[in-house]
Structures are given as structure tokens and as C-alpha cells.
Amino acid sequence: MKKRLTRRAQEMIARSLPHFPELNGKTITVGYTRKHLGSASIIYRGGKIVRLIIRLKVRKLTYQTIGHELTHLVQALIRGNRPQIDSIDLPEIPYGEKPCDIWTLARHELFCDDPPTYIKMPRIMRERWLDYAEPVRRLCIAAIQQRITRRLYIQWLETEVGKLAKAAPRRQTFPAQLSLPFADRTTSTE
Ligand SMILES: [Zn+2]
């Protein structure tokens, strides 16, 4: 049985896509999943990408999940169909789940409404994520810079993230106008 996307999910996707210029002009099929927060599939035919699919669990859908799955599509696009996207100045995103989290958080604060799944962090940070979202995002941006010279940039990031948790939450020292997109967690229906 086919279900339609909730209006809320549609709006969240529409708000997310402008932050992914790499996906401009691409058709993305959006479906549901119940098993995971989300998944991304890339269908190849004759070595070319012919279809981009993301599946989302709409209950408690977050921008973090949408961003993560869209980042997976970008990871695939960088490797497939390369000649067609050479004109776009693509930042290289390495394959893998942790890079996907890092590049998603770094991309925009919109995608920092929920903790990432794969980056290792102390439980307190997951429980009080909104206290830590902005400094963790800054560390992700720094890690991407580190990667140019430091092969173990993910280890570096996770060490720095761990240090953050040992310090007191620093929400008040970050700009008061920081506006994270608090998701409305009550209105989604499947
Ligand atoms: Zn993933």
C-alpha cells in the first residue's frame, strides 16, 4: 500500500534541499521506512546512476536524518556520473557513515536538530544535545579542514568531542541568536 508523505515531511525536505546544490536538477524518490531512521539507495545501470532514493521514518523525523541521507546521495554522486557534475565545485565527501555525519552537521545548522548517529560521543551529549550542537558542529567544520593534512581526522574529532563533554555545557557562551531548528515532534503521522 502506498502512503503519501506527510505534509510536515514534505516541508522539511523542501527546506533541506536548498542546502544541497549538488542535487540541483536531480530527481530524488522519497519513500518510507519503519526499520531505520532513514536510508539512501543509489540505483546504477551500466555504471551510471539512474535513480536516487531516500527512505525516511516520518515519525519524529529530524533534519539531521534528512541531511544524513541527502549527504549519502552526494557521496554517491561524487563517485558516479562524475563527468556530468564536474562543472559544480563539489567538496569531496569520503564514503562512510562517520564522514556522512560530519559533513551533514557541517553543512548547515539546520541539520543539527538531533545528535548524529555514528560519531562517537558521550551519552550526556546525546541527552543534552542542544547544549552541544553548535560546538560539535564547529568541531566538524574543523575536522573537515584537518582532513587535508591529518588522516586520522575522525579520531581527532571524537577526541575533541569527548573533551567538550568534560567541560561544562557552554550554551550560554555561544551567540544568543543561535536558532536551531527545533523539530515539532508531535504532529507526524505515518
Ligand atoms: Zn548513513
The label of the residue with cell 555545557 reads: 169
pLDDT (tens digit per residue) in 124-182? 999 999 999 999 999 999 999 988 888 899 999 999 999 998 886 555 544 444 455 54
**For residues 75 and 95, is the Cβ–Cβ distance under 8 A?**
yes
177 C-alpha vs ligand 1 centroid, how far in Å?
A: 30
What is residue 40's three-state secondary structure? strand
pLDDT (tens digit per residue) in 112-122? 999 999 999 99
123 C-alpha vs ligand 1 centroid, how far in Å?
A: 20
77 C-alpha vs ligand 1 centroid, how far in Å?
A: 15
pLDDT score of 80: 60
What are the CA-CA distances from residue 120 to residues 30, 32, 86, 135, 165 (Å)?
Answer: 28, 27, 33, 15, 12
pLDDT (tens digit per residue) in 6-15? 999 999 999 9
160 C-alpha vs ligand 1 centroid, how far in Å?
A: 22
**For residues 42 and 52, is the Cβ–Cβ distance under 8 A?**
yes
Q: Is the pLDDT of residue 190 over 50?
A: no
99 C-alpha vs ligand 1 centroid, how far in Å?
A: 9
- Name the nearest CA neighbour of 118 among 157, 92, 76, 151: 157
43 C-alpha vs ligand 1 centroid, how far in Å?
A: 16
Q: Where are the alpha helices (DSSP H) in the chain?
A: 7-16, 63-79, 97-107, 123-127, 129-146, 153-166
pLDDT (tens digit per residue) in 89-111? 445 788 899 999 999 999 999 99
96 C-alpha vs ligand 1 centroid, how far in Å?
A: 8
pLDDT score of 149: 86
68 C-alpha vs ligand 1 centroid, how far in Å?
A: 6
Q: Is the dihedral of CA 20, 23, 25, 27 positive or negative?
A: negative
The grid coordinates listed for 187 are 504532529
What is residue 153's three-state secondary structure? helix
Cα 117-75-38 angle, rounded to 5 deg: 40
DSSP state of 80: S
154 C-alpha vs ligand 1 centroid, how far in Å?
A: 16
pLDDT (tens digit per residue) in 25-79? 999 999 998 888 999 999 988 888 899 999 999 999 999 999 999 999 999 887 6
